[in-house]
Structure 1
Amino acid sequence: MKPFALTLPGDVRFGAGRAAEAADVVARAAGEGGVLLVTGSGDRHAAPLRERLEKAGVTVTTVRVVGEPTVDAVGDAVGTARRAGVSAVLGVGGGSVLDTAKAVAALVGNGDPLDHLEVVGRGQALSGPVLPWVAVPTTAGTGSEVTRNAVLTAGRVKVSLRSPALLALAAVVDPDLLQGLPRDPLVHGGLDALVQLIEPLISRRANPVTDALARQGLAASLRALPRAAAEGTDDPEVRADLALASLLGGVCLANAGLGAVHGLAGVAGGMLGAPHGALCAAFLPAVLEADLAALRRAPDPVAQGRLDALGPLVTGDPQAGAEQAVAALGALVRDLGVPGLTELGLRDADVDELVEGALAASSTKANPLPLTREEFTTAVLASR
Structure 2
Amino acid sequence: MDPRRGRRASVLMQLLLPPRILFGRGALADALPHLRALGSRLILVHSASARAAPPLADDLRALGCTVQTCLAKGEPTLPVLEDALHTLRPCNADAVIAMGGGSALDLGKALAALLPGAHPALHHLEVVGGGHPLDTAPLPFAAIPTTAGTGAEATKNAVIGVPQAQRKVSLRDDRMIARLAVVDPALTEDVPPATRLASGLDAITQVIEPYLSLNASPLTDALCRDAIPRGLGALRQLMQAPNPQAFDDMAHVSLSGGIALANAGLGAVHGLAGVLGGRTGAAHGVLCGRLLVPVLRTNFTAIDTPRRAEVLAWIASAFPENSDPLTALQTWIDAQGLPRLADLGLSARDHARVAADSLASSSMRTNPVALSGEQLRKILSQS
State the TM-score bracket (shorter-chain normalisation): over 0.9
Matched, 1:125 2:126: no
The percent identity for this pair of structures is 40
* Equivalence for 2:179: 169
Is contact 1:175–1:240 with CA below 8 Å preserved after alignment? Answer: yes
The within-5 A match list for 1:177-196 is 177-196=187-206
Is contact 2:154–2:255 with CA below 8 Å preserved after alignment? Answer: yes
The within-5 A match list for 1:163-242 is 163-232=173-242, 235-242=243-250
* Equivalence for 1:248: 256
Determine the C-alpha separation between the residues in 2 that align with 1:52 and 1:10.
23
Determine the C-alpha separation between the residues in 2 that align with 1:359 and 1:119.
11
**Farther off after superposition, 143-152 or 120-129:** 120-129
Determine the C-alpha separation between the residues in 1 that align with 2:73 and 2:158.
16
Determine the C-alpha separation between the residues in 1 that align with 2:189 and 2:317.
29
Q: Give the alignment's TM-score, normalised by structure 2.
A: 0.92
* Equivalence for 1:342: 342
Determine the C-alpha separation between the residues in 2 that align with 1:120 and 1:16.
40
Q: For structure 2, list consecutive stretches of 5 or more residues without a partner in the other structure.
A: 2-10
The counterpart of 2:63, out of the listed 45, 56, 65, is 56
Letter in 1 for 2:201: L
**Farther off after superposition, 163-172 or 335-344:** 335-344
Letter in 2 for 1:309: E
Is contact 1:22–1:49 with CA below 8 Å preserved after alignment? Answer: no
- Secondary structure of residue in 2 paired with 1:258: coil
Q: Give the alignment's TM-score, normalised by structure 1.
A: 0.92
Determine the C-alpha separation between the residues in 1 that align with 2:135 and 2:12.
28
* Equivalence for 1:83: 90
Give the C-alpha shift of residue 255 in structure 1: 0.8
Deviation readout 1:238-264 (Å, 9 max, x if unpaired): 110110110001111111111001111
* Equivalence for 1:311: 312
Is contact 1:26–1:35 with CA below 8 Å preserved after alignment? Answer: no
Determine the C-alpha separation between the residues in 1 that align with 2:327 and 2:106.
33
Q: How many residues align?
A: 368
Compared CA separation, residues 43 and 288, structure 1 to 2 (3 A): closer
Give the C-alpha shift of residue 281 in structure 1: 1.2
Is contact 1:148–1:163 with CA below 8 Å preserved after alignment? Answer: yes
Determine the C-alpha separation between the residues in 1 that align with 2:12 and 2:71.
42
Is contact 1:106–1:129 with CA below 8 Å preserved after alignment? Answer: yes
Is contact 1:151–1:161 with CA below 8 Å preserved after alignment? Answer: yes
Compared CA separation, residues 279 and 121, structure 1 to 2 (3 A): same
* Equivalence for 1:18: 27
Compared CA separation, residues 147 and 52, structure 1 to 2 (3 A): same
* Equivalence for 1:332: 332
The counterpart of 1:285, out of the listed 268, 273, 293, is 293
Determine the C-alpha separation between the residues in 2 that align with 1:247 and 1:276.
17
Is contact 2:47–2:100 with CA below 8 Å preserved after alignment? Answer: yes
Letter in 1 for 2:267: G
Give the C-alpha shift of residue 352 in structure 1: 1.4
Compared CA separation, residues 76 and 22, structure 1 to 2 (3 A): farther
Deviation readout 1:212-267 (Å, 9 max, x if unpaired): 101211122112111211234xx210110110110001111111111001111111
Compared CA separation, residues 24 and 81, structure 1 to 2 (3 A): farther
* Equivalence for 1:264: 272
Is contact 1:38–1:63 with CA below 8 Å preserved after alignment? Answer: yes
Determine the C-alpha separation between the residues in 1 that align with 2:49 and 2:32.
18
Determine the C-alpha separation between the residues in 2 that align with 1:214 and 1:41.
32
The counterpart of 1:27, out of the listed 12, 36, 39, is 36
Is contact 1:24–1:53 with CA below 8 Å preserved after alignment? Answer: no
Give the C-alpha shift of residue 105 in structure 1: 0.4
Give the C-alpha shift of residue 160 in structure 1: 0.3
* Equivalence for 2:14: 5
Give the C-alpha shift of residue 43 in structure 1: 5.1
Letter in 1 for 2:205: V
Compared CA separation, residues 77 and 242, structure 1 to 2 (3 A): same
Letter in 2 for 1:281: G
Compared CA separation, residues 81 and 20, structure 1 to 2 (3 A): farther
The counterpart of 1:41, out of the listed 35, 45, 48, is 48
Is contact 1:109–1:128 with CA below 8 Å preserved after alignment? Answer: yes
* Equivalence for 1:65: 72
Determine the C-alpha separation between the residues in 2 that align with 1:278 and 1:343.
11
Q: For structure 1, list consecutive stretches of 5 or more residues without a partner in the other structure.
A: none
Q: CA RMSD in A?
A: 1.7
Determine the C-alpha separation between the residues in 1 that align with 2:335 and 2:26.
32
